[in-house]
Amino acid sequence: MELTIRIGGEAGQGLQLIGTVLTTYFKRLGYHVFTHQDYMSRVRGGHNFYQIRLADKPVCCSRQQVDLLLALDSNTIDLHEDALSQQGRIIYDSEMCKRQGVGRHFLYMPFTAIVKELAVAEVMVNSAAVGAVIGILGLDLQPFAEIIADFIGKKGTEVVTTNIKVAQAGHDHAVSDYAGLFSLPAPEAGLQSHILINGSQAMGLGALMSGCKFYSAYPMTPSTGIMVFLAAKAAEHGLVVEQAEDEIAAINMALGASYAGVRAMTGTSGGGYALMTEGVSLAGITETPIVIAEVQRPGPATGLPTRTEQSDLFFVLYGGHGEFPRVVFTPGTPEQAFYLTNKAFHLAEKYQIPVIVQSDQYLADCQWTLPEFAEEGLLQEDFRLRGQALQERESYQRYGYSDSGITPLAVPGASRHLVVVDSDEHDEDGHIIEDAETRNRMMTKRLFNKLPLLQAEMTPPEHYGAAEPDFLLIGYGSTWGLLKEVVDHCPPQKAVAMLHFSEVWPLPLSDTFDYVALLEQATTICVENNATSQFATLLHSQTGHRCTHRINRFDGRPFTLDNLMEALNDYLC
Amino acid sequence: MELTIRIGGEAGQGLQLIGTVLTTYFKRLGYHVFTHQDYMSRVRGGHNFYQIRLADKPVCCSRQQVDLLLALDSNTIDLHEDALSQQGRIIYDSEMCKRQGVGRHFLYMPFTAIVKELAVAEVMVNSAAVGAVIGILGLDLQPFAEIIADFIGKKGTEVVTTNIKVAQAGHDHAVSDYAGLFSLPAPEAGLQSHILINGSQAMGLGALMSGCKFYSAYPMTPSTGIMVFLAAKAAEHGLVVEQAEDEIAAINMALGASYAGVRAMTGTSGGGYALMTEGVSLAGITETPIVIAEVQRPGPATGLPTRTEQSDLFFVLYGGHGEFPRVVFTPGTPEQAFYLTNKAFHLAEKYQIPVIVQSDQYLADCQWTLPEFAEEGLLQEDFRLRGQALQERESYQRYGYSDSGITPLAVPGASRHLVVVDSDEHDEDGHIIEDAETRNRMMTKRLFNKLPLLQAEMTPPEHYGAAEPDFLLIGYGSTWGLLKEVVDHCPPQKAVAMLHFSEVWPLPLSDTFDYVALLEQATTICVENNATSQFATLLHSQTGHRCTHRINRFDGRPFTLDNLMEALNDYLC
Amino acid sequence: MTTFADYDGQKPAWCPGCGNFAILNTLKRALVDMDMEPHHFTIVSGIGQGAKLPHYTRCNTFNGLHGRTLPVATGIKLANHDMVVMAVAGDGDCYGEGGNHLLHAIRRNINVTLLVHNNQVYGLTKGQASPTTPQGRVTKTQPFGALSSQLNPMALAISLDCSFVARAFAGASGLPFLKEMIKEAVNHEGFAMIDILQNCVTFNKVNTFHWYKERVYELEEGYDPTDRVEAFRRSLEWGERIPTGIFYKNQRPVCGKDITPLQKGPLVGHDVFSVNLRQESALFY
Amino acid sequence: MTTFADYDGQKPAWCPGCGNFAILNTLKRALVDMDMEPHHFTIVSGIGQGAKLPHYTRCNTFNGLHGRTLPVATGIKLANHDMVVMAVAGDGDCYGEGGNHLLHAIRRNINVTLLVHNNQVYGLTKGQASPTTPQGRVTKTQPFGALSSQLNPMALAISLDCSFVARAFAGASGLPFLKEMIKEAVNHEGFAMIDILQNCVTFNKVNTFHWYKERVYELEEGYDPTDRVEAFRRSLEWGERIPTGIFYKNQRPVCGKDITPLQKGPLVGHDVFSVNLRQESALFY
Ligand SMILES: Cc1ncc(C[n+]2csc(CCOP(=O)(O)OP(=O)(O)O)c2C)c(N)n1
Ligand SMILES: Cc1ncc(C[n+]2csc(CCOP(=O)(O)OP(=O)(O)O)c2C)c(N)n1
Ligand code: SF4
Ligand code: SF4
Ligand SMILES: [Mg+2]
Ligand SMILES: [Mg+2]
């Protein structure tokens, strides 16, 4: 059983609230949900939509067809009528849409009339609509009361009660006019220990659980969600969240905080990352730990600022001048986003390097129902040299040579030992040098010694589906859910599997899992949300494997299960 | 016949003037010369040197051993005594060096005494030294008079005459004390049509000859030479050279000027380029022509600011968010720097893209004697749409679709047609759009349509040496001269050749010259002035060829002929 | 003669009630008054709500990066000093991300008119504090209130000896005044900056249209805009009473047509391939 | 008690006669006076001649990128507000490349002392015009003379309501004065900026030691550094007479230990892994 609901309307009509309330409602009822958002770069007007897929088993990508379209304006009908499934219906209010729907698939609902009748604020049509959707699905309105209180409770109990009343009216109308149209089977019980979370929240939560104490950033869609999440936690957890004057300041502040001894992070999107690359290089030579969230949107330049793309892979691999080690993660689910953000902090401090967690608008905004995260899975180790261990040392050199390339990371001010870091090439003490020998030793320490250790830290890609696949779908980052469901939907006789990379740089070794052998034995199809198949190129340059086929989408929209299945038809034969 | 002279001393002692005067002197006499400089990031003190290799045939890299060491301080003797060739001599003044040289290889010269005797300024010891070098080589001082006037003439004739007098005294001493020590054969006549030029000057001259009208930059070693060259030409040629407040402003100013209809350029080194990448991406989506000189120095961050490295290749290939076409040139000689800067302007305007000419401190500062450049070899085509052709058009769309992806480049203000460019994704008129269809068409126009055309414009690599090589030395950028001489020095029975890439992105097609086949049939040795073999990685990812061996140097110093020959010994067997 | 309709552009994507509409219309009216044909001027803008303006009229347009309007405008003006160049930016755009360029454009005194749509908030990115947001105001990313003091653009510009410094209010009462100010700024030789107080109905619920309306007043007749210290003093007024008008002007040298390479006329008109290689190489022989 | 020798660092790579030596020695003397142990303070610097300073003394050091001293200093101070943090930058570093950070560090009023080694030229890169180079001065990259007006750091800082604004001269006569000023700046709660006029013997042949010496004088006794308009007026003096001293101070709120997350003490001392996952995930159930 599954069902796709799409809510369409203008920016400013409250789509996001409707969507989130409904999603939470379904989740609390025990349905698995997956949502995605499509919105324009404007604050009012235009056309946005919010899509909810609910099912009785886990779902992790979107469908092309819509079963229930809630149209808050006429434009929504024009744009999405074609997307209706065979049983699909459009819920609309002729007054709001200023038109009459013609055809069996139109379900008229008097949202405006309800609001007028109850003499409440016009914006409450949204609650009527939520009530109606719930009613049409034959579900109980009861849980709505608690949810709406959670979301708008701070506006006062009266607002809450009124909204409930309006929703009830919408529900009543739906039940009386369209009872039995969609009858959803009761959900499996037991999603109480599941969470409903999106990629931004998961990264923010991951940072919080990793001891992040400092987050400086400049607002930039679609990365701002992380900052908003952490800002809300700042007071309680003694976390400084500072909005910098620009991205250059953002990364340099974070590096300052990290130098001073606290775990620090910054986040941005591609254009802001461009301004940060000099700072990334600074982290490289000074060996200052830092975690950077790079949340992609379609470029170049301003591009499509509120949409999705995976086009900055090479930029984060190579952005910054000179040669230094770095790690790049590309989580595919909120769960991976959570644990990899944690691993990012861990490796950043352990190896004293910049670690980039690359996400995109799709991952940032999509909500998933997932088993709750577990504290046991977290890497929580404090690598700093401070307290007695530092005070008792006879001497300290910030860049003292060692076989691993790692010098203990002392906290300045925590002892009489000085901590000197330098963006110039330097000696073990951190002072400027120019001689060739020291340069060579420092490059060896910083780069060559650490590289093999880092590579050994990388988890191999995830192999899902046929054990000996004829067809191997390759992906990285936010396409995880999509590829997984494609595998699930392919007929078993096709022997399809997915190979998903969430730790892409350095590319993992193939000693524990010989994924290169797997690649070589299958027809490989690399699926990327970009134009130039960056991941396929990386894979080729690192493993020698050239993917058989490439499927790309770069119009700012994510793949859906159906359009990828269709695109695959050409190859799965 | 060849001879290497090294002049060593502190910053501020005037090494550069001595070096340039001597080099010019040799060139005017008819010797081929090659010079390279090694200097610290300080203005006074420390240790710098200037090395001149002169010969009776073209030379294009430096030697390890020194025949004549002019030591302006004691430190120079300590640091370079070991580098003397068997016949090598050290010219020094015990008073300046505050020590007595012990051994036959010390040639004492009383520079300080000369200056005192003639009662002239102390700094004139330098002219005494120049005179002495000329004298020791058994050469005529005469041409010096003209040269010193060229260099310091603006200080007045008296200064010039005094310097000549001092040089004469130095010359006299040398002739009387050390006559016949080095007897240079008379140079081949006919270097009058040769020029003595370094990489910075060649790029500046290339820009000037390409109609560059606007150069904005922020000072950054080793790129500043280009700006200084162009600034000196600005008044005469109506060229605006503006020092921007930072590199972000520099590239955005240049983009503004280019939009307004003039050929524009900016230049920087790696750290500044980091700040420019957002602007590079802006050039990409707005299709605004721009030429960027990226003159490398060792990174990361401030690194070794006055030294050389080839470590930003991947950064210029992939720097900037989103996907857009660009061209990257990596000239290997001042001649290539000149013609490729010209080709950069040509392609930038023809295809309306950013073109990066990547150089490094070594290429920027080394002086070569080269056959004069020819105007006939220049690409001088004006692609702008203006004047009557523009005025008579019925309409104009800045991003009108075309098969080639190229829309005529109209000059704003030159007609009633408006020129609208946008960093957001846009329609043919240049206005913001968000729909998928237009996005796809624009990506096709901008990226996919232009890519094959650009690739066809790239000149294949240069193959020099054995036609069917067993050993193929691979390089790009500033190692050209080095690799060529290595080939010349290898015994012919070894069948060694060079394959040098000066046009690296997109990598040239192999249809006219199947260099991939050449690679596959030889033992390939990729020589790079960096730590991670970026070019070998690029070559592998684009051609599938994995180089057999890699030789890297990343201590901030260039390879010399001798140390590369030595490093090669292990492989040429 | 141009008419209002000559400046009809794309349909604005702004919120109904946004102060940007008034700025757009006033700009168009000023253009009509100046009879400036659309192809005779270029508007450079950054990224933000206000920065979408050039699309909503008809003109040569360079809609560039967030924060980078002024360098682009500088490049255009230096390449073609016959072109009238305006820059349109938001308060975040111009005082935040682009702050450094503002300092140096003022110092350079390039002949460009800058219109800052100052709604005291980041509009397009949904409500974070901007440099002109009052200290202490709480937002989703400023949970303890904005930590920085509110930037005073008038005082800043005067301290840099900006050639033309003005403030306007994008409300009915202020519009005729704004229109004249725009004309004067465009005609002024040198860098002219107008900070325009503009309501944001969606994200700034404090500095609303009415909030401004109750406070703004015009600098009195007889106010002397050439007295820099007095201008500075007046620039510090902000609170119950907010002065608008031309705070300060001067006639200092402009980075423009008088500089050596531009004396032969705009660069864009120069011959392109006129340099003689042999001659330019002279110093290399 | 610390002594001068406690601050012995690497051997300076400056030119003999450079004003930087005087600044370095004066700073060391001020440190001795304050009895500040080397590990109790951090100097953040950028890239330039002056910016090499921390290597020439003994202290915690973050020698970062050209232009980016103040954000780094801000991060350090916010992470550990018990650390004394100073920033050392050149005029190019701080007013050119890093101009935007200066604006916003002043607004933020972070408790950091900024020393600007103002030699009115780009020293390390060999003599290009800096923001404080007088307009019209010819250099190799300014063939028609610097096109921009000379930046006035005092006026700029006052316009931004900077918490502590001072100018000093790195010449014998000015050094005791500079020493006291540094101590006062370090002890001042809030952002304190001292612009130090410093000769560059190699690249600035006009504003020499003697040029400065003939012109500088100390603001008179009785001068009231709390009067912002008067401070602005005095900041405009530059030419035959150049005032030095504390132009302006105020006590506005500091972005520091009083802000909510820092009330429990410096971040660096907080527990690292104390957050309860289940509790923080509450809103996701
Ligand atoms: C480099 C970069 N950083 C951040 C952004 C995101 N961004 C777009 S507009 C904006 C701020 C808008 O505020 P303002 O300039 O005041 O304009 P308004 O929308 O209020 O008119 C930001 C932060 C961006 N586009 N580019
Ligand atoms: C991003 C970047 N751009 C340019 C440079 C080159 N650079 C180093 S120091 C400097 C200017 C030095 O001038 P100033 O800050 O006044 O210091 P001074 O040497 O005069 O003390 C410049 C432009 C750099 N290191 N990084
Ligand atoms: S968000 Fe504010 S500034 Fe933006 S269009 Fe809406 S009202 Fe105007
Ligand atoms: S160049 Fe100038 S500032 Fe730099 S060390 Fe020499 S005298 Fe000092
Ligand atoms: Mg704003
Ligand atoms: Mg300076």
Average pLDDT over residues C205-229: 97
B377 domain residue, yes or no: no
Q: Is D74 in the pocket of ligand 2 (CB under 6 A)?
A: no
One domain for residues A223 and A105: no
Q: Is A532's pLDDT higher than 90?
A: yes
Residues B458-467, mean pLDDT to the nearest whole number: 98
List C-alpha distances in Å: D45 to A13, B262, C53, C88: 50, 39, 41, 35
Across the range B34-45, mean pLDDT stands at 95
Helices A450-457 and A334-351, interaxial angle, to 10°? Answer: 160
B260 and B342 both lie in a single domain: yes
**Does A445 map to a domain?**
yes
Cβ of B40 and A434 within 8 Å? yes
- D136 by Cβ neighbours in 10 Å (0-12 / 13-18 / 19+) ranks as middle
The pLDDT of C81-85, averaged and rounded, is: 98
- Tell me whether residues B260 and C40 touch, CB distance under 8 A: no
- The finding on whether A272 has its CB within 6 A of some atom of ligand 1 is yes
Q: What separation in Å is there between the alpha carbon of D155 and the centre of ligand 6? A: 19
**Residue A379 located in a structural domain:** no
C141 close to A (CB below 8 A): yes
pLDDT at residue A189 above 80? no
Task: Kindly indicate the confidence band of residue B186, based on its pLDDT and cuts at 50, 70 and 90.
Answer: confident
Average pLDDT, chain B: 96
- Looking at the fold, whether B61 and B147 belong to one and the same domain comes out as yes
Ligand 3: does its nearest atom lie under 6 Å from the Cβ of C51?
no
C282 touching chain D per CB within 8 A: no
Nearest Cα to Cα of residue B550 among B525, B529, B517: B525
The percent of residues above 90 in pLDDT, for chain A, comes to 95
The three-state (H, E, C) secondary structure of chain D, written as one string: CCCHHHHCCCCCCCCCCCCHHHHHHHHHHHHHHHCCCHHHEEEEECCCCHHHHHHHCCCEEEECCCCCHHHHHHHHHHHCCCCEEEEEEEHHHHHHHCHHHHHHHHHHCECCEEEEEECCCECCCCCECCCCCCCCCCCCCCCCCCCCCCCCHHHHHHHCCCCEEEEEECCHHHHHHHHHHHHHHHHCCCCEEEEEECCCCCCCCCCCHHHHHHHEEECCCCCCCCCHHHHHHHHCCCCCCEEEEEEEECCCCCECCCCHHHCCCCHHHCCCCCCCHHHHCHHHC
pLDDT tens for B480-489 read 999 999 999 9
The full set of domain ranges for chain D reads 11-254
The 3-state secondary structure of B215-229 reads EEECCCCCCHHHHHH
Q: For residue B126, what pLDDT band results from cuts at 50, 70 and 90? A: very high
SS3 A323: coil
Q: Which atom of ligand 2 is nearest to the CA of D89?
A: 15
Is residue A77 located within the same domain as residue A182?
yes
pLDDT in tens, D97-128: 999 999 999 999 999 999 999 999 999 999 99
User: For residues A553 and A531, what is the distance between their CA atoms, to the nearest angstrom?
Assistant: 7
CB of C93 closer than 6 angstroms to any ligand 1 atom: yes
- Residues 6 or more apart whose CB falls under 8 angstroms from that of B275 comprise A248, A275, A278, B246, B247, B248, B268
Q: Give the per-residue pLDDT at B570.
A: 86
B511 in any annotated domain: yes
Residues B347 and B467 occupy one common structural domain: no
DSSP SS3 for B96: helix
CATH number, domain of B544, equals 3.40.50.920
Cα of D130 from ligand 4 centre, angstroms = 14
| CATH code where residue A168 lies | 3.40.920.10
Residue ending a domain, choose from A337, A370, A403: A370
Same domain, A110 and A227: no
Between A239, A248, A375, which is nearest D68 by CB? A248
The backbone torsions φ and ψ at residue C93, rounded to the nearest 5 degrees and listed phi first, read: -55, -50
Q: pTM of the full predicted structure?
A: 0.98
A411: left (phi over 0), alpha (psi -120 to 50) or beta: beta
Q: What backbone torsions phi and psi does residue A371 show, to the nearest 5 degrees?
A: -55, 140
A154/A298 same-domain check: no
Per-residue pLDDT tens digits for D240-281: 999 999 999 999 999 999 999 999 999 999 999 999 999 999
Check whether the bond before A110 is cis (ω within 30° of 0). Answer: no
Q: What is the pLDDT of residue B187?
A: 83
Dihedral of CA atoms B80, B81, B84, B87 in degrees, nearest 10, equals: 150
Residue of B nearest to C261 (CA): B238
Minimal-distance CA residue to ligand 4 atom 2? D200
Residue C18: CB within 6 Å of ligand 3? yes
Last residue of a domain, one of A370, A395, A413: A370
Parallel/antiparallel/unpaired status of strands C242-249 and C192-197:
unpaired
- Out of 2.40.50.40, 3.40.50.970, 2.40.30.10, 3.40.50.300, select the CATH number for domain C11-254: 3.40.50.970
The CATH number of whichever domain residue B322 belongs to comes to: 3.40.50.970
Report pLDDT digits (tens) over B375-418: 999 999 999 999 999 999 999 999 999 999 999 999 999 999 99
Percent of chain B whose pLDDT exceeds 90:
95
- For residues A65 and A42, membership in a common domain is answered with yes
In tens, the pLDDT along A284-303 reads 999 999 999 999 999 999 99
Asked if residue A207 lies in contact with residue A292, where contact means CB atoms within 8 angstroms, the answer is no
The single residue listed with the structure tokens 């990115």 is: C125
Residues A21, A57: one domain?
yes
Specify the residue with its C-alpha closest to ligand 2, atom 24: D66
Specify if B375 maps to a domain. no
CA B250 to chain centre: 21
Any chains having at least 3 CB pairs less than 8 A from chain D are A, B, C
ipTM: 0.98
Tokens 């400092």 sit on residue: A214
Which ligand is the nearest neighbour of the Cα of A301? 1
Say which residue the tokens 């081929």 belong to: B32
Is residue B378 in some structural domain?
Answer: no
Mean pLDDT of chain D: 97
Last-in-domain residue among A191, A212, A247:
A191
Structural domains of chain A, count: 4
Range of the domain at B482: 459-572
Q: Which two tokens stand for residue C210?
A: 């009415």
Assess whether A448 and A471 both reside in one domain.
Answer: no
Subunits close to C (at least 3 CB pairs below 8 A): A, B, D
Task: Name the β-bridge partners of D243.
Answer: D217
Residue A210 belongs to a domain: yes
Ligand 4 atom at shortest distance from the alpha carbon of D19: 8
State how far residue D193 is from chain A, nearest Cα, in angstroms. Answer: 19
Is the pLDDT assigned to residue A57 strictly greater than 90?
yes
- The chain-wide mean pLDDT, for chain C, equals 97
Contact A300 B41 (CB under 8 A): no
Task: For chain D, 285 residues long, give each residue's pLDDT as a single digit of tens.
Answer: 999 999 999 999 999 999 999 999 999 999 999 999 999 999 999 999 999 999 999 999 999 999 999 999 999 999 999 999 999 999 999 999 999 999 999 999 999 999 999 999 999 999 999 999 999 999 999 999 999 999 999 999 999 999 999 999 999 888 999 999 999 999 999 999 999 999 999 999 999 999 999 999 999 999 999 999 999 999 999 999 999 999 999 999 999 999 999 999 999 999 999 999 999 999 899
For an interface test with A, the pick among C66, C69, C139, C203 (most A C-beta atoms closer than 10 Å) comes out as C66
State whether A406 and A553 are in the same domain: no
The answer to whether residues A8 and A39 belong to one domain is: yes
